[in-house]
Copies of this chain bind each other. A is one copy, B any other.
Amino acid sequence: MQILRRIDEPRALARTCKSRGERVALVPTMGYLHEGHLSLVRIARQHADRVVVSLFVNPTQFGPGEDLDRYPRDFERDRALCEEAGVDALFVPEAADMYPQGFSTSVDVHGTLTKGLCGASRPGHFAGVATVVAKLFNLCEPDVAVFGQKDAQQAAVIRRFTEDLNLAVEIVVAPIVREADGLAMSSRNVYLTQDERAQAIVLKKSLGAAVALFDRGERNTAAIINEAEDIVASAPLARISYVEIVDARTLAPVDVIERPALLALAVYFGKTRLIDNTLLPPTGVL
């Protein structure tokens, strides 16, 4: 497995591969890899001959007071996991190369895709995400890129700007990978105390109850949201940031579910903000 640290290296690699007729996949990550990331690598492999994983804790998608400084990092472990997963190249750029002196550009997705859900409480977050992903796409020139459904709003934003800017990258969104007890895998789960970790299973429980309601025919989003909120609130350490049902494509709020919808939630346990979601119907694809 190659380790690429210079920002001109992944493009050279991609062009060499493509000149041999190989398809190249990119899996952008912020490192501290878990089974969720590794599932993205496996799915990337199904879509391409070569898989590049990028590992970059992108400062511009963290707001003031967020967890940029304490975001967990373990390069040697990430390297070993990627090697084992058969990754062809690990791209590990420096922030000073990604954002050199004078850097002045952002890619901005406007409207409902970025206004609601996490966008409401994390201003600038999705501009940071879209900008760094656009840069990674241009640096790595993948044919396909794989993202996790856990970051559903991020996936929708990336789909949108990729189409809008006519980038020649196919976007694949992969299912959420969960711990045995249902907690969605996240690098941030390591922040949780033992009590918080035990109570965090209410997120998946609330999504399950919402799906059950939906399956019994409930289409009124207020009723489904109430049920989900009640279950989250049963955990004394949980503090709800939002529980919302939105159109799966536009992320605009929905009162009555008539087309595929997304139930998304964000909940604090202490200082740790966890997100999770389900499609309604749950068999849908983001």
* Residues of chain A at the chain B interface (Cβ within 8 Å): 7, 11, 102-111, 113, 130-131, 134-135, 138-139, 141, 160-161, 164-168, 250
Contact = CB atoms under 8 A, between A and B. Distances in A.
Contact of A166 (B104, B138, B165): B138
Nearest to A19: B19
A106 B167 CA distance: 14
A135 B130 CA distance: 15
B134 A165 contact: yes
A160 to B, nearest CB: 6
Chain A at the B interface: mostly helix, strand, loop or mixed? mixed
A106 B161 CA distance: 8
A252 to B, nearest CB: 11
B168 A11 contact: yes
Given A104-B160, A160-B104, A168 B138 contact: yes
Closest 8 CB pairs of A and B: A105-B164, A138-B166, A105-B161, A139-B166, A104-B111, A104-B110, A135-B166, A106-B108
Contacts of A102: 160, 250
A90 to B, nearest CB: 18
29 contacts: A7-B166, A102-B160, A103-B164, A104-B109, A104-B110, A104-B111, A104-B161, A104-B164, A105-B107, A105-B108, A105-B109, A105-B110, A105-B130, A105-B160, A105-B161, A105-B165, A106-B107, A106-B108, A107-B108, A107-B165, A108-B108, A131-B165, A135-B164, A135-B166, A138-B165, A138-B166, A138-B168, A139-B166, A141-B168
A8 to B, nearest CB: 9
A131 B167 CA distance: 12
A204 to B, nearest CB: 31
Interface centre among A7, A103, A166, A250 (most CB of B within 10 A): A166
A282 to B, nearest CB: 25
Contacts of A167: 138
Contacts of A130: 105
Contacts of A138: 165-168
Contacts of A11: 168
Given A104-B109, A104-B111, A105-B161, 10 more contacts: A104-B110, A104-B113, A104-B164, A105-B108, A105-B110, A105-B130, A106-B108, A106-B110, A107-B107, A107-B108
Nearest to A166: B138
Contacts of A139: 166
A170 to B, nearest CB: 14
Interface centre among A105, A110, A113, A160 (most CB of B within 10 A): A105
Contacts of A105: 107-110, 130, 160-161, 164-165
